[in-house]
């Protein structure tokens, strides 16, 4: 039987957006019962804004609270692994912001821990949800698009000095990577969600925009498992901000909306090759039901999955795929070589992609 689940949000930065976009619009499914943050001012500010009385500074206290069903981890990346494993061990369901963890070794350990856990784990990839992306996915999955030829992903965003005044950002040890790992991870996830697994990567990373340790500009040439080709480019130094994903299939050209932080929401440009393809697309989308974008749908589907009404909308396997690309990309860039996927424990960066001098 379905019921309202009690949530504890840990970290009041993006955690606030989880409340606004994810939990409040799904008030029949979730109640935010507790907030946790090391910063008492932020804790009070967000607690007052949403009338959340239970405010905790020490994460471990949450684990012992029997009335908390879900722990939503929205802390900086370096804290994710221990919080997720502890929360699973305590029998809680877990939501965790990207990046789920900071290495393939850690993601494999989490996948192992999930096998015996009582609760379910859902990493965040909120850009996957909305009418535009889901219509594209429906057309591709129905086999209408046909053979994939090639595609491009452009993540053209902007970050300036104030962004890096938050101490954990821009540093290998705490952010674990730059635009590749922390920003373009969303559009790259969309690409593989729609086009399938990557087989080979030749990537380059550079720091060109801000005086930071991690990269802020990247580019790669990729070969997909299907044989299709792709190129990914991203920077945090763009004057205007867009996210653009363009996919070329045998029967259809698909181009995302360009809204940088919500490319899935508005309808995408879908160009059928001929009238017959158009008729098949019209038929596939004939009874389309509106899909709210981002966290609203991701959280609603998490609730459904917990009560056996569907699959988890994002899984730790999806996180692994994203982190495998990150690992391959850094390795390719530092060795000036092509990297073939999948990557396992024998890969030199399996334990960490962070350069040794910054660990």
Interaction of residue 12 with ligand NAD, rule CB under 6 A: yes
Size of the site for ligand NAD (CB under 6 A): 22
Structure tokens at 228: 């299709």
Give me the helix-helix angle, 80-89 and 104-115, nearest 10°.
Answer: 10
76 scored as a contact of ligand NAD (CB under 6 A): yes
8 binds ligand NAD (CB under 6 A): no
124 binds ligand NAD (CB under 6 A): yes
Indicate the length of the chain as a whole number: 359
CA-CA distances (angstroms) from residue 200 to 91, 221, 286, 325?
38, 8, 37, 9
CA 156, CA 243: separation in Å to the nearest integer? 6
Using CB under 6 A as the binding rule, whether residue 13 contacts ligand NAD is answered as: yes
Element holding 287 (H helix, E strand): none
Q: Which of residues 24-63 bind ligand NAD (CB under 6 A)?
A: 36-39, 42, 59
Closer to ligand NAD by CB, 183 or 331: give it: 183
Q: Which of 126, 131, 316, 352 binds ligand NAD (CB under 6 A)?
A: 126
Strand order in the sheet with 93-96: 54-56, 30-36, 5-10, 70-73, 93-96, 121-123
Is the Cβ–Cβ distance between 96 and 107 less than 8 Å? Answer: no
Rank residues 251 and 319 by Cβ distance to ligand NAD and give the closer one.
319
Residue 83's SS3 state is: helix
Interaction mask 291-330, ligand NAD, x per CB under 6 A: ----------------------------------------
Nearest residue to ligand NAD on Cβ basis: 13
* Closest to ligand NAD by CB, 55 or 137: 55
Other residues' Cβ atoms within 10 Å of the Cβ of residue 289? 6
Q: Does residue number 332 form part of the binding site for ligand NAD (CB under 6 A)?
A: no
């Amino acid at each position: 039987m379905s019921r309202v689940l009690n949530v504890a949000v840990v970290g009041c930065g993006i955690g606030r957006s989880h409340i606004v976009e994810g939990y409040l619009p799904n008030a029949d499914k979730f109640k935010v019962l507790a907030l946790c943050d090391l910063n008492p001012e932020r804790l009070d500010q967000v607690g007052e804004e949403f009338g959340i009385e239970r405010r905790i500074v020490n994460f471990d206290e949450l684990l012992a609270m029997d009335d908390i069903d879900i722990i939503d981890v929205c802390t900086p990346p370096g804290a994710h692994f221990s919080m997720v494993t502890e929360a699973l061990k305590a029998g809680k369901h877990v939501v965790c912001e990207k990046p789920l963890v900071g290495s393939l070794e850690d993601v494999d350990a989490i996948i192992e821990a999930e096998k015996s856990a009582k609760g379910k784990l859902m990493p965040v990839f909120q850009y996957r949800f909305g009418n535009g992306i889901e219509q594209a996915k429906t057309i591709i999955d129905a086999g209408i698009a046909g053979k994939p030829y090639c595609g491009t992903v452009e993540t053209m965003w902007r970050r300036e000095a104030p962004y890096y005044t938050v101490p954990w950002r821009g540093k290998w040890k705490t952010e674990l990577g730059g635009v590749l790992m922390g920003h373009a991870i969303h559009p790259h996830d969309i690409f593989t969600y729609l086009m399938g697994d990557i087989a080979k990567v030749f990537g380059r990373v550079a720091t060109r925009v801000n005086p930071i340790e991690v990269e802020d500009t990247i580019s790669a040439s990729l070969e997909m498992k299907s044989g299709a080709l792709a190129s990914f480019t991203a920077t945090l130094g763009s004057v205007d901000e867009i996210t653009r994903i363009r996919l070329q299939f045998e029967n259809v050209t698909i181009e995302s909306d360009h809204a940088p932080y919500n490319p899935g929401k508005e309808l995408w440009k879908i160009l059928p090759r001929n009238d017959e393809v158009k008729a098949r697309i019209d038929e596939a989308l004939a009874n389309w039901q509106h899909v709210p974008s981002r966290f609203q749908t991701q959280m609603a589907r998490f609730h459904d999955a917990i009560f056996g009404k569907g699959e988890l909308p994002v899984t730790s396997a999806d996180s692994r795929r994203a982190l495998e690309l990150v690992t391959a990309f850094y390795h390719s860039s530092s060795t000036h070589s092509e990297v073939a996927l999948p990557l396992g424990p024998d890969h030199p960066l399996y334990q960490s992609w962070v350069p040794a001098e910054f660990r």
